[in-house]
Amino acid sequence: MLPNGLCKRIIPCLDVTNGRTVKGVKFQNLRDIGDPVELGMQYQKQGADELMFLDISASVEARNTVFDLVQNVAEHLSIPFTVGGGISSLDHVKKLLECGADKVSINTSAVMRPELISEIAIACGSQCCVVAIDARKNSGALSWEVLVKGGREQTGKDALAWARQCVERGAGEILLTSWDADGTQEGFDLVMVKAFASSLPIPVIASGGARDPASFVDVFSDAQADAALAASIFHDGLFTVGDVKAVLKEQGITVRL
C-alpha cells in the first residue's frame, strides 16, 4: 500500500470533436475512435474510476453538442466524469454541472484569466475545479513551460510555478499532461510528474505516454501520482482498465476493483 492509503484512480480520456471520440499524437493527426457514450459505458464496465471528456474543437458552434453529450453521458454512466475544453466562464461551468458533469477542467482560459479558478472554487467548490496544464520540457533544464490552445502556443510560464498559483486560487486537482510524451506510448514523464506531485498539496493526475500496466505502476510508485489518465492504449484495445488494475494490485498498489 502506498503511504496515504488512498485508492489510485485510472481515468480513460475521450477527446471529443463534433460528437465523436478522436485520438492523435502530440495533439495532431487525429483519427476517429468511436461514439463517446458507448466508449464511456465500455470503460465503466472495465472498472474505470472516472472518465475525462475533452471537447478539443471547443468552438461556439460545438457548444450545444457538448451540452447534449454531457446529458447523454450522465444518463448512461454512474461513475464520475469531468468535462473540459473551451470553458471560459462561470456560467458555462454551471451549465455543464447542471447537465450532469461532476467536474470541469479548464486550461487556456485559466492561463488567460486566473480569476476564473477562484470563481469556480467559490461558486461550485474546489472539488469541481480541475486545472489542466499542458507542459513541455525546457531544453537543458529541469523545468517545464506551459502550453495553451491545444499545445499550439507557448506562454513562457513556468509550469510548476503556475500549478502552485492554481492551488492558491482554489483548484481541486491538477491534470498534468506531458506534451513530449502525449500519444507516444513510451511511458509517463516520471520526472515531471514527481516534481509536481511531491510539491503540490492537491491530487495530480498524470497524463501523456501511458504504455502498459507497468507504466502505471511506475507513475504511482515512483512518481507519486494520485491518478493516471490514458487514451491510446485503451482505445486501441491493447489493454483494458481491468488489466491495468490487476497488475497494480499485484504490485501492492491500492486500487478499487
Q: How far apart are CA 131 and CA 144, in angstroms?
A: 16
Number of residues in the chain: 257
Only one residue has cell 454512466, namely 77
SS3 165: helix
Handedness of CA 147, 235, 213, 247 (dihedral sign): positive
Only one residue has cell 485503451, namely 234
CA nearest to 146, candidates 198, 110, 118, 117: 110
User: How far from the centroid of its chain's Cα atoms is residue 103's Cα?
Assistant: 11
- The pair phi, psi for residue 125, each rounded to 5°, is 100, 140
Q: Which distant-in-sequence residues (6+ apart) come within 8 Å of 151 by Cβ?
A: 26, 27, 134, 136, 179, 182
CA nearest to 218, candidates 186, 242, 240: 186
Handedness of CA 58, 131, 145, 134 (dihedral sign): negative
Q: What is the CA radius of gyration of the chain?
A: 17
Residue 243 a catalytic site member = no
Take residue 9 and report the three cell numbers written for it.
484512480
Residue 134 a catalytic site member = yes
Q: Which residue among the candidates 49, 55, 134, 189 is catalytic per the annotation?
A: 134
The Cβ of residue 88 has, within 10 Å, a number of other Cβ atoms equal to: 15
Active site residues: 15, 134
